[in-house]
């Protein structure tokens, strides 16, 4: 017993000495203290020390939690070089031409909102706001802005900035129709004090808190305009309150953000984010292997091949995960064109595309599946009882015959009223998967007497033609949401004025369901309405829904604290150990 007691006292003395030593070192490297201390405790425990050390470990972890709340783990420094496969048309989040490439760069990095979603609980929580309150009837939403938040130039964020942002979005001269429709039920936004603001609704809207609180706040003193064209034409030099600031945009090459050293909140460890535009997917992988980029979204085939390559995975993290934002890929049929006015023709187009083959052979993603409608497949908004239309060339021919599209002149191409069934299919250029799907569609359509003319366009031109409805058919993908509102994409009011109903879908019953659901606060009742809407979309086939799949990413393994949340990844959490940092 005396021997054991002496041994225990020796280790306890050693343990306390180490704690004192580490407390001294903490003046220099406090952010590394608890990681090293825990490693030591693990080692001592493995040699048979008693429960006393485990209790001390729990105390240290509890003490560390307070420190973790103040600072990210790991060392400061290094850059994240993020490859994008297209260049954004604008860095103005409000503008209708902003898309996912714009959002990758500015959302959360430069622009921030009053509220944000907790990435794990998926609940709204304050960000720029200190607090918020929704009235019992859902018609008033109150926000108290924090008194310590400010834009990157040091100017404080006030209620005036919130009101300016809202008025800009709903200004009919501002090109923001796709965003403005989410605020159509707002009656007014009232300033209560310098830091207090209230949204007053015309009617109940189930996403009113999300869009009032989730609106990215623009600084009025920077963006104030006399003529809306001035705001519309501002596509670069974004200024916000976020943890990064805009440094430069080398057109055709890259956008660079640097850390906002004046940030009001907890600064990320990564000093710069470089968004490099590499359209060629093979070149992108080569750049990743050569250490010229760090982070990319690979083609599904690239992921399937390289994620099983030990040489590649030695230095690269391969991430595959579902989250509500994954969305779906679709082919849209422009109902303003003579070919696709008839529901039977649109259904025929769906029947002649082998979507299971696309998922299995082209995507090479085992988890990929064919969606049946516009909702996240794991959401309760989606009706699980609806099954995809089958691949059936005979059924496609039958439907085309019924609709009057037959080969009257014997030239091998169906026609109607003297118009041959020959249509233009707009796709994004330099995207091999789109080209493969276009070839598949062209070959299958030829079997039933339809000629498809693929038209690839560079992204900025693609977006312009999409908004101007200059296409017969188009391929695109929509991102998803925790809970979607189909109004922007599917309500008939969004057909004109550069709204997002690009294919001209117009069904009175669908409009009514969308409108009723918007004002239904009970989630179960709202989802029943969306199931009815889902069935209309499935019947009418304004889109052929091609696939949905988990998100996939390649990331250099030198980045640590990479956490897959329910909402996906957040690069603002990452760090690179000092000895592995590449850029200074």
For residues 223 and 234, the answer to whether their CB atoms sit within 8 Å is: yes
CATH code of 178's domain: 3.90.76.10
Find out whether 573 and 243 touch, Cβ atoms under 8 Å.
Answer: no
93 part of a folded domain: no
Same-domain status, 432 and 376: yes
Check: CB of residue 273 under 8 Å from CB of residue 571.
Answer: yes
Q: Are residues 378 and 473 in the same domain?
A: yes
- Rounded distance between C-alpha atoms, residue 543 and residue 564, angstroms: 31
H-helix or E-strand spanning residue 22: helix 2-29
Judge residue 240's burial from the number of C-beta atoms within 10 Å of its C-beta, 0-12 exposed, 13-18 middle, 19 or more buried. Answer: buried
Same domain, 306 and 343: no
- CA-based nearest residue to 178, from 89, 95, 91, 235: 95
Instruction: Say if residue 561 is in the same domain as residue 543.
Output: no
- Say if CB 493 and CB 177 are below 8 A apart: no
Tokens linked to 142 = 């109150």
Residue 523 has a CB neighbour count (10 Å cut-off) of 12
Strand, coil or helix: what is 575?
Answer: strand
What confidence tier does 72 reach under pLDDT thresholds 50, 70, 90?
low
- What is the domain range of residue 60? 2-70
Tracing tokens 């690239």 back to the chain, one arrives at 302
Two tokens, residue 16: 């306390």
Q: Is residue 542 domain-shared with residue 420, that is, in the same domain?
A: yes
363-402: pLDDT as tens digits? 889 899 999 999 999 999 999 999 999 999 999 999 999 9
| 494 and 474 both lie in a single domain | yes
Confidence of residue 252 (pLDDT cuts 50, 70, 90): very high
Asked if residue 476 and residue 369 are part of one domain, the reply reads yes
Q: ∠186-513-343 over CA atoms, to 5°?
A: 125
Do 362 and 511 fall into the same domain?
Answer: yes
Residues facing 568 on adjacent strands: 565
Supply the pLDDT for residue 71.
55
Does residue 48 register a pLDDT over 50? Answer: no
Does 133 share its domain with 279? no
77 domain residue, yes or no:
no
What's the first-to-final CA gap in the chain, in angstroms? 57
Do the beta carbons of residue 459 and residue 89 sit within 8 Å? yes
Q: What is the CATH number of the domain that holds 311?
A: 3.40.190.10
Same domain, 481 and 435: yes
| Residue at token pair 């100017």 | 155
Element (H, E) at 535: helix 523-540
Residue 412: inside a domain, yes or no? yes
| Predicted local confidence at residue 331, as pLDDT | 98
What are residue 554's DSSP bridge partners?
296, 318
Pick the range with the lowest mean pLDDT from 173-182, 205-214, 279-288, 441-450: 173-182
Same domain, 318 and 437: no
Is there a domain that residue 44 lies in?
yes
Domain-located, residue 88: no
The DSSP call for residue 116 is E
Q: Is residue 240 part of a domain?
A: no
- Does residue 104 lie in a domain region? no
**Would you place residue 181 in the very low, low, confident or very high pLDDT band (cuts 50, 70, 90)?**
confident
Domain with 435 in it: what CATH number? 3.10.105.10
| Number of separate domains in the chain | 4
Mean pLDDT of the chain: 89
Q: Is residue 75, in this structure, part of any structural domain at all?
A: no
Clarify whether residues 165 and 22 are in a common domain: no
Among 15-19, 25-29, 351-355, which stretch is predicted with the lowest mean pLDDT?
Answer: 25-29
The enclosing H or E element of 272 equals strand 272-277
Whether the CB-CB separation of 553 and 520 falls below 8 Å is answered with no
Token digits of residue 139: 């018609």
The CA dihedral of 117, 119, 121, 126, to the nearest 10 degrees, is -30
């Amino acid at each position: 017993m005396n021997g054991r007691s002496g041994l225990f006292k020796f280790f306890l003395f050693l343990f306390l000495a180490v704690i004192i030593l580490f407390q001294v070192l903490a003046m220099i490297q406090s952010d590394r203290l608890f990681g090293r201390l825990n490693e030591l405790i693990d080692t001592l425990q493995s040699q048979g020390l008693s429960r006393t050390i485990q209790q001390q470990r729990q105390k240290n972890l509890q003490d560390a939690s307070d420190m973790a709340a103040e600072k990210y783990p790991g060392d400061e420094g290094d850059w994240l070089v993020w490859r994008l496969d297209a260049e954004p048309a604008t860095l103005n989040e409000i503008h209708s031409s902003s898309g996912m490439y714009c959002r990758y760069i500015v959302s959360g990095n430069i622009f921030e909102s009053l509220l944000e979603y907790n990435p794990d609980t998926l609940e709204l929580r304050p960000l720029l706001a200190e607090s918020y309150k929704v009235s019992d009837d859902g018609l008033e939403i109150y926000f108290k802005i924090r008194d310590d938040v400010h834009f990157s130039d040091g100017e404080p964020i006030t209620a005036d900035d919130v009101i300016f942002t809202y008025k800009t979005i709903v200004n009919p001269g501002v090109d923001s129709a796709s965003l403005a429709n989410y605020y159509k039920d707002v009656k007014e936004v009232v300033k209560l004090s310098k830091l207090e603001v209230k949204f007053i609704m015309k009617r109940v809207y189930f996403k009113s808190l999300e869009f009032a609180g989730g609106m990215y706040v623009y600084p009025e003193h920077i963006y104030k305009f006399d003529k809306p064209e001035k705001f519309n034409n501002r596509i670069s030099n974004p200024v916000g309150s976020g943890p990064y600031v805009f440094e430069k945009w080398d057109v055709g090459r890259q956008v660079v953000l640097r850390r906002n050293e004046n940030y009001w909140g907890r600064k990320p460890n990564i000093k710069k984010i470089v968004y490099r535009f590499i359209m060629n997917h093979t070149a992108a992988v080569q750049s990743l292997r050569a250490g010229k980029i760090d982070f990319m979204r690979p083609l599904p085939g690239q992921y399937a091949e390289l994620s099983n390559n030990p040489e590649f995975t030695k230095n690269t993290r391969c991430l595959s995960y579902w989250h509500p934002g994954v969305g779906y890929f679709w082919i849209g049929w422009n109902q303003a064109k003579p070919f696709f006015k008839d529901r039977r023709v649109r259904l025929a187009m769906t029947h002649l595309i082998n979507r299971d083959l696309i998922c299995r052979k082209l995507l090479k993603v085992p988890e990929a599946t064919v969606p049946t409608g516009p909702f996240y497949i794991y959401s309760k908004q989606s009706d699980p009882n609806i099954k995809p239309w089958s691949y059936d060339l005979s059924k496609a021919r039958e439907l085309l015959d019924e609709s009057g599209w037959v080969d009257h002149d014997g030239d091998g191409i169906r026609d109607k009223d003297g118009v041959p069934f020959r249509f233009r299919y707009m796709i994004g250029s330099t995207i091999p998967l789109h080209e493969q799907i276009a070839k598949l569609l062209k070959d299958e359509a030829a079997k039933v007497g339809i000629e498809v003319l693929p038209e690839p366009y560079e992204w900025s031109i693609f977006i312009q033609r999409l908004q101007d409805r200059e296409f017969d058919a188009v391929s695109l993908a929509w991102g998803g949401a925790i809970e979607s509102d189909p109004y922007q994409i599917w309500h008939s009011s969004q057909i004109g004025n550069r709204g997002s109903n690009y294919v001209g879908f117009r069904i009175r019953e669908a409009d009514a369901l969308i409108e009723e659901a918007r004002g239904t606060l009970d989630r179960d009742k709202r989802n029943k309405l969306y199931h009815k809407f889902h069935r209309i979309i499935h019947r009418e086939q304004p889109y052929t829904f091609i696939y949905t799949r988990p998100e996939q990413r390649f990331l250099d393994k030198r980045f640590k604290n990479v956490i897959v949340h329910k909402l996906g990844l957040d690069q603002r959490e990452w760090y690179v150990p000092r000895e592995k940092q590449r850029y200074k």
